[in-house]
Amino acid sequence: METPVETTRERLLNVAEQRFGEGGYEGTSLRAITVAAAANIAAVNYHFGSKEALLRAAVARAMAPVNAERRRRLDQLEAGAPPTPEALIRAFVEPGLELVLRRGERGAVVARFIGRIAFDPSRRIRELYAVESEPIESRYLAALQQALPQASPDAVAFGYMNMLGLLALHQSQALSPTPGAAGTEDPGKLAENLVTFLVAAFDHGLRS
């Protein structure tokens, strides 16, 4: 097989995902990242321009396939009969959690990274996540509103935010030392449990 040469740029992004997901943006130094990536400190500013630009590139790379899959599922759903809330919830949650299942340790690192960034203490960092998922958000909200005609727009937005929060919570706990704390020994069942939980809340817990 061909030599899987990792460029300095790729190594920096990989390590950034791991370290930023572990210690957060402010809690992780460029020096720690470059040492782990076997790169020179100046390489970050050469390839990306700044620490925040490195984070931005890492967020974009990590979220691209997840959001692409969400878009694909949403397209598919909108092509057929009006989707149920469950179908919409699956289309959002499953791409975010299949990372852990389908791509092993590396996927778990990515999942944790995404989950942490989504609720970073700094507003500027959180907005990196928001910007990345903004294009798909309005489509989701509209589809949810159609699937839940009895719920007010405020209620739909409330449910969406809770879905976002719980997904980020369980993503951020990927690789955590106490996986049992996620409420399931088998990580493969996590997505099912979360979907069941959210579907019940959406179907019975949004005020009209």
Partner DNA sequence: GCATAGTTCAAACGGTCATTTGAACTGGAG
Partner DNA sequence: CTCCAGTTCAAATGACCGTTTGAACTATGC
| Sites of contact with a copy of itself (CB under 8 A) | 22-27, 116, 119-122, 154-155, 157-159, 161-162, 165-166, 169, 172, 180-185, 192-193, 196-201, 203-207
User: Which one, 42 or 130, has the nearer CB to a copy of itself?
Assistant: 130
Q: For the segment 7-26, give every residue that binds DNA (CB under 7 A).
A: 7-9
Q: Which does 169 bind (CB under 5 to 8 A by kind): a copy of itself, DNA, none?
A: a copy of itself
Give every CB contact of residue 66 below 8 A, 6+ residues apart in sequence: 95, 96, 99, 114
Q: Which stretch binds DNA (CB under 7 A): 33-41, 79-87, 97-105, 172-180?
A: 33-41
User: Which one, 3 or 204, has the nearer CB to a copy of itself?
Assistant: 204
Which string of b and e fits 12-27 if b means at least 16 CB within 10 Å?
bbbbbbbbbbeeebee
Least distance CB 26 / DNA (angstroms): 8
Give, to the nearest 10 degrees, the angle between helix 153-172 and helix 190-204: 160
Three-state DSSP class for 184? coil
Least distance CB 200 / DNA (angstroms): 43
User: Which one, 67 or 172, has the nearer CB to a copy of itself?
Assistant: 172
Q: Which two tokens stand for residue 135?
A: 């294009």
Which whole-number Å values give the CA distances from 49 to 25, 41, 147, in the listed order? 16, 12, 44
Binding mask 40-79 toward DNA (x if CB under 7 A, else -) reads: xxxxxxxx--xxx---------------------------
d(CA 64, CA 203): 30
Taking CB under 7 A as the rule, does residue 163 contact DNA? no
Which whole-number Å values give the CA distances from 186 to 86, 113, 149, 182, 183, in the listed order? 22, 21, 35, 10, 9
Q: Which does 72 bind (CB under 5 to 8 A by kind): DNA, a copy of itself, none?
A: none
CA-wise closest residue to 59 among 91, 21, 85: 21
Kindly list the residues in this chain that would bind DNA in the complex (CB under 7 A): 7-9, 28-32, 39-47, 50-52
